[in-house]
Amino acid sequence: MIVDLDAVRAIAQAMRARPWFTRLGAPLADDELALALGAAAGYHVTGIEAVPDLAAARALALEPAGAPAADADAVEARLLRDRAAAAAGEKRVLADLSSIVDAALEPTIAAARTALGAVGVVDDELARVLAGAAALGAYHAALAHACGKPEHPFVAIDRLFARGRLPLGPHRGHYAVL
């Protein structure tokens, strides 16, 4: 297997230019709906739930039903990371993957604070949670790209983030997006 670390580095370089969290609550565009369906496929759900606002997203995120999906994501990420490390060397792969998280944190925290402030919410902890989710989405997408899987659900999730959305994951048979 050939590992595409150039794709990983390209994602890291794009972090500052993304319109993080700028379309929260806006109607889903056709391309966003297609991406949400691509993300949903990874969880074996077919419907899309457009979450209307941050309050609804917070309530959904606090439900324990999302834990199995997070566990499955962690297992899948580990499998992808192990494949990439076996092919290109663990130290090299982890260094490039770490650059994504490093590049994402500052712009995503700032963007999350701005998005929250726009709806009258001042909550630094929530801003950091949003930023962490975005960084994790980019990290997961980079793993999929590194392993030559550009159609992986992780990539669709990251593309939703890249369009200013907050993918929330599977919820009662649907894939939820704010």
Contact indicator for 139, 4 with CB cutoff of 8 Å = no
Q: What is the residue extent of each domain of the chain?
A: 5-177
pTM of the full structure: 0.91
Q: pLDDT tens, 43-55? A: 988 899 999 998 8
Angle at the Cα of 25 from the Cα atoms of 22 and 30, rounded to 5 degrees = 85
- Distance from first CA to last CA of the chain, Å, rounded? 36
pLDDT in tens, 142-177: 999 889 999 999 999 999 999 999 999 998 889 999
| Cβ-proximal residues to 71 (8 Å cutoff; 6+ apart), any chain | none
Q: What is the pLDDT of residues 12-57, one digit of tens each?
A: 888 889 999 999 999 999 999 999 999 999 898 889 999 999 889 8
